[in-house]
């Protein structure tokens, strides 16, 4: 294959990745709203709030909707507020730390350094890849 064919294949894969990332973001957004609806409706119905997803999904859910970086303690409090059952964990904070480290390593969340001994995490928003082979647009005629 020539370099031009590689560039075309790269661009096609890049477009597909952008499309899939957008679809994932839309699905994640819809799932978030449905979970919020379920929790709200369970309160209105007088049901005991419990959430049926696992720890990893719960941490993802909390960090996706967070407006600021969160510590493991913040995540634990938010999970409890959403009705997540922590009773099955001998050490819930340890489980949350493990999930946070794993999601950080996978690139789903980002480590945010703070004061020594204290750190937080935030959702790693999707990015759009850029073709570095492409020449920048001309600025002729612009003021």
The model's pLDDT over 46-83, given as tens digits with 9 standing for 90+, comes to 776 555 678 998 899 899 889 899 999 999 989 887 87
Residue 139 phi, psi (nearest 5): -105, 10
Residue 122, pLDDT score = 92
pLDDT band at 27, cuts 50/70/90?
confident
Residue 138, domain member (yes or no): no
* Pair type for strands 109-113 and 119-123: antiparallel
8 and 28 share one domain: yes
More confident residue, 119 or 141: 119
Which among 2, 5, 7, 1 has a CA at the least distance from the CA of 134?
Answer: 7
61 and 42 share one domain: no
Q: How many domains does the chain have?
A: 2
Residue 114, domain member (yes or no): yes
108 and 68 share one domain: yes
91 and 22 share one domain: no
Output the domain CATH number for residue 76. 1.10.10.10
Q: Which domain holds residue 74?
A: 50-127
64 and 111 share one domain: yes
HSE, CB side, 13 Å, CA atoms: give it for residue 55. 19
CA distance 26 to 39: 20
35: tokens are 């979970």
Residue 104, domain member (yes or no): yes
Give the global pTM.
Answer: 0.57
29: tokens are 């957004």
Measuring CA to CA, how many Å separate 50 from each of 78, 87, 114? 13, 11, 32
56 and 29 share one domain: no
Q: Is 58 helix (H, G, I), strand (E, B) or coil?
A: helix
pLDDT band at 92, cuts 50/70/90?
very high
75: tokens are 């995540």
């Amino acid at each position: 294959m020539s370099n031009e064919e590689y560039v075309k294949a790269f661009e096609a894969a890049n477009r597909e990745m952008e499309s899939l990332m957008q679809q994932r973001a839309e699905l994640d957004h819809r799932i978030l709203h449905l979970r919020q609806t379920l929790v709200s409706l369970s309160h209105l119905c007088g049901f005991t709030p419990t959430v049926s997803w696992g720890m990893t999904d719960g941490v993802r859910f909390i960090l996706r909707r967070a407006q600021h970086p969160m510590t493991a303690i913040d995540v634990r409090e938010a999970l409890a507020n959403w009705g997540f059952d922590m009773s099955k964990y001998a050490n819930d904070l340890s489980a949350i730390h493990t999930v946070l480290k794993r999601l950080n390593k996978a690139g789903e969340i980002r480590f945010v350094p703070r004061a020594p001994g204290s750190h937080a995490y935030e959702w790693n928003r999707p990015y759009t890849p850029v073709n570095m082979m492409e020449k920048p647009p001309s600025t002729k005629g612009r003021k």
